[in-house]
Amino acid sequence: MEGIAIMTSGGDAAGMNPAVKCAVDYSRKKGLKPFLIRNGLRGMIDGDISEATREDVSGIMHRGGTVLRSSRSQRFFEYDYRKQAYDNLQKLGINKLIVIGGDGSFNALNQFYSDFGVPFAGIPATIDNDIPGTDYCLGVDTALNMIRQSVDSIRDTATSFSRAFVIETMGRHCGYLAMVSALSSGAEICLVPEVEYDLEKIGERLRSDLNDGRDYIIAMVAEGTNMAEYLTRWIKINLNMDARLTVLGHVQRGGSPTVRDRIMAYKFAVEAVDALLDGETNKIMIFRDGDFGRLAIDKVTDSKVELNQQIIKLAEHLSH
C-alpha cells in the first residue's frame, strides 16, 4: 500500500482539522495508507510521523487551530535537514504529501520536490485569503464570522456612548478581511492597502452625517495599512468625537470552523488526494469562479494576489 502523509504548516486556520480528517478518510477509501506528520516541517525533519489511526481524526471536525500543530522551520532551508526529512518518509514508505497551509509552506515543499521528487498537493489555508490563483483559502469564513461577532459587540458600546470605534483586522498585506467585514457590518470607514483613501473626503462625508443625526462610527482598518492608531487620533481631532481603537488580533484566527470552512475543507481534501492519484506532482488546489481546480505551484508563487474587484467596487466608497 502506498503511503501518503498529511501535514499542516504555517499559521493555523480554522478548517485545517476538517481537511486533515477528510484527507485521511478519503485516502484510506482510495486504497492509500495515510500518515500524519506532527509539528509541520519541523516534525518532518525530526521524524514526528505516524500512521493515522481512526482515533487521531475522530472528534476533530469542530475544532479550531490544527491538532497536528504547526511550525515555521528555518532548518528546512538546509539541504541536509531536507535529506533527513526524506529519509524519514522513505523508511515509512511515504511517497505522496498533502500540505495544508500557505504559500511559504508550498514553496518549501516545492524545493523538497526538486530535491527528491516526492509529489505534493497543497491546500490553501490562511485567514488572510492572500494566496494567488484561488478565490478562497480555508479559515477565511470562520475569521470573518469571528470579526462579525466582535464588531456586533463593539457596536453596542459605540451606540450607547456615541463613540467612534476603529477596529483593526489581521490580513498581513491583504485587505480582504477588513473590506468584507466593513460591508457585512455596515461600517462607515474602511482602509485597506489595495485602495487609495482620502481622509479629507471621509471627514467631509462624516461631518455631514453627524450633522444629520449620526451618533456613532465604525471604522474597519486592515493591519497592512498601519493606520489604525493614526485614524483613531484623527477622528478625535477632526470629528471631535470620543474614539477608541480595538485591535482584534488572534481572536480572528481561532474558533470552531464554520459550515463553509468544513465543506470547503472536504472538497479541497478530496481534490488533493485525487490530484496525487492522477499523477500530479506539485499542484495547489484552488477554488475559482465557483469551481475547484489545480494550479501549478509556479503560477501561485510567481503571481501577485489581487483583491476581488467586485468587493472593491462595493466597498470603495468607504475609503473616501
Indicate which single residue of 63, 83, 155, 172 sits in contact with ligand F6P (rule: CB under 6 A): 172
Helix-, strand-, coil-residue percentages of the chain, each rounded to 5:
50, 20, 35
Shortest distance, position 41 Cβ to ligand F6P, whole Å: 15
Binding residue (CB under 6 A) for ligand F6P from 56, 128, 194, 261: 128
DSSP H or E run through 246? strand 243-247
22 alpha carbon, distance to own chain's centre:
19
Site stretch for ligand F6P (CB under 6 A), options 78-86, 121-129, 185-193, 208-216: 121-129
Task: Indicate which single residue of 52, 109, 170, 182 sits in contact with ligand F6P (rule: CB under 6 A).
Answer: 170
Determine if residue 103 is labeled as part of a ligand binding site: yes
Least gap, CB of 304 to ligand F6P (angstroms) = 17
CB 128, min distance to ligand F6P, A: 5
Q: Which among 49, 98, 39, 46 has a CA at the least distance from the CA of 70?
A: 39
Residue 248 makes contact with ligand F6P by CB under 6 A: no
Complex with ligand F6P: residue 27 or 181, whichever CB lies closer: 181
Choosing from 17, 105, 126, 225, the residue that interacts with ligand F6P (CB under 6 A) is 126
Applying CB under 6 A, among 41, 127, 195, 222 the residue interacting with ligand F6P is 127
3, 171, 193, 257: residue in contact with ligand F6P (rule CB under 6 A) = 171
Question: 37: part of which helix (H) or strand (E)?
Answer: strand 33-37
Provide the minimum distance between the beta carbon of 250 and ligand F6P in the complex, in angstroms, as a whole number: 6
Interface with ligand F6P in residues 48-67 (CB under 6 A): none
| CA atoms 104, 107, 112, 118: torsion sign | positive
164 or 228: CB nearest ligand F6P? 228
What contacts 24+ positions apart, CB below 8 Å, involve 51-57? 51/92, 52/6, 52/24, 52/28, 56/24, 57/20, 57/21, 57/24, 57/25
Which residues touch 272 (CB under 8 Å, ≥6 apart)?
23, 98, 121, 122, 123, 285
Strand partners, 97: 5, 120
- Count of residues that bind ligand F6P according to CB under 6 A: 9
Give the residue among 89, 13, 20, 18 at the shortest CA–CA distance from 53: 20
* In the complex, minimum distance from the CB of residue 50 to ligand F6P, in angstroms, rounded to a whole number: 27
- Selected from 11, 34, 64, 124, the binder of ligand F6P by CB under 6 A is 11
Is 82 annotated in a binding site? The answer is: no
Three cell numbers, residue 108: 518549501
Nearest to ligand F6P of 201, 250 (CB atom): 250
Q: What is the CB neighbour count within 10 angstroms for residue 239?
A: 17
Four-point Cα dihedral 15, 16, 18, 24, nearest 10: 160
The CA-based angle 21-105-56, given to 5 degrees, is: 20
105 is in an annotated binding site: yes
Residues with catalytic function: 128
Q: What is the C-alpha to C-alpha distance for residues 250 and 246, in angstroms, rounded to an integer?
A: 12
Closest to ligand F6P by CB, 88 or 169: 169
- 253 belongs to the binding site for ligand F6P (CB under 6 A): yes
Smaller CB separation from ligand F6P, 68 or 170? 170
The secondary structure of 272-309 as a DSSP string is HHHHHHTT--EEEEEEETTEEEEEEHHHHHTS-----H
Annotated binding site, which residues? Answer: 11, 72-73, 102-105, 126-128, 155, 163, 170-172, 186-188, 223, 244, 250-253
Chain positions contacting ligand F6P, by CB under 6 A: 11, 126-128, 170-172, 223, 253
